Amino acid sequence: MSDLESCMITIIQTFHQYSGQKCNLKKADLKELINNEMNNFIVKIKENDTLDKLFADLDQNGDLEIDFKEFIALIAMVTSACNELKAWQGKGKRS
Amino acid sequence: MSDLESCMITIIQTFHQYSGQKCNLKKADLKELINNEMNNFIVKIKENDTLDKLFADLDQNGDLEIDFKEFIALIAMVTSACNELKAWQGKGKRS
C-alpha cells in the first residue's frame, strides 16, 4: 500500500477512534479530536463559542452530528491551508 | 506531530512530487499519480477516455490543470468511498 493510501486509512481510523460505534462526532468528540490530533495546525479549542461556530460550519446537514463526509471536508480545508502556507516544506517525508 | 497531521503533510508532498514546480497536475501527471499511488483504491487508468472523463470531473475551474484544491477533492471522495466500503477495517494502524 502506498504512503498516500495508508494515509487515507489513517484518516478514516482517526475519525472512528473518536466517533466510536455511532460513526458520527458529537461536539465533545470533535473538540477532543481537534485538540489531540490537529493541535499543530489548528489552535486548541478552549472557548465553547469557538467550538459552536466551527461545529455549525462543518455540520452541513444540520443534524447536530459530524458525519465522515463533513469530517473529511475539514481535513481537506486544513490540508489546503497548510499547502498554501507552505507549512509542509521541510517536514520529513513519512518513512 | 500526530499521525493525522503527518498524513496531511504526506498528501501535500505526494501532490508536489507529481506536480513539480508548476504546482498543478497535467493529465499525464494525474494518470501517473493515480496509477502509482492509488492503485489499491482506484483501478489503474489504461484508456485515455477514462482519464479524460476523470480529469474533466476533477477540473472544476476548467483550466485544463488540476490544482491542489481539485486534487484534495479527489482524495476526499476516494477516502469517503473507502470509509463506506469499510475497506479500512483490518488494515494495520500506521505505527
Q: What does the pLDDT look like over A41-95, one tens digit per residue?
A: 999 999 999 999 999 999 999 999 999 999 999 999 999 999 998 756 655 444 3
Q: What is the pLDDT of residue B80?
A: 95
CA nearest A78 in B: which residue? B8
| pLDDT confidence bin for A22, thresholds 50/70/90 | confident
CA contacts within 13 A on the Cβ side of A79:
29
Give the Cα separation of A24 and B41 in Å (integer). Answer: 24
Indicate whether B90 pLDDT > 70. Answer: no
Q: What is the pLDDT of residue B92?
A: 46
Give the Cα separation of A35 and A33 in Å (integer). Answer: 6
Quick one: cell of B60? 472544476
Q: What is the pTM of this model?
A: 0.89
* Subunit contact A5:B38, Cβ cutoff 8 A: yes
Residues paired with residue B66 on neighbouring β-strands, in sequence order = B25
Q: Looking at per-residue confidence, does A21 or B5 come out higher? A: B5
The residues on A that touch B, with CB distances below 8 Å, are 1-16, 36-41, 68-69, 72-73, 75-76, 78-80, 82-84, 87-88, 91, 93-94
In the chain, the amino acid numbered B77 is M
CA nearest A42 in B: which residue? B5
CATH superfamily of B3-90: EF-hand (1.10.238.10)
Task: Give the mean model confidence (pLDDT) for residues B42-66.
Answer: 94
* Subunit contact A79:B72, Cβ cutoff 8 A: yes
Contact between A51 and A45 under an 8 Å Cβ cutoff? The reply is: yes
Contacts of B38 (CB under 8 A, 6+ apart): A2, A4, A5, B78
| Exposure b/e, B42-55, CB count within 10 A at least 16 = b | eeebeeeeebeebb
Burial of residue B5, with CB atoms counted within 10 A of its CB: 0-12 exposed, 13-18 middle, 19 or more buried: buried
Task: Please provide residue A66's backbone torsions phi and psi, each rounded to the nearest 5 degrees.
Answer: -105, 115
Q: Which residues of B touch A19 (CB under 8 A)?
A: none
Task: Give the mean model confidence (pLDDT) for residues B7-14.
Answer: 96
What is the percentage of chain B residues whose pLDDT exceeds 70?
Answer: 91
Give the Cα separation of A21 and B64 in Å (integer). Answer: 42
Chain A nearest C-alpha distance from B35 (Å): 11
Q: What is the pLDDT of residue A93?
A: 46
CA nearest B38 in A: which residue? A5
Q: In Å, what is the CA distance from A70 to each residue of A19, B82, B88?
A: 13, 15, 18
> pLDDT per residue over B71-89, tens digit each?
999 999 999 999 998 756 6
Domain ranges of chain B: 3-90
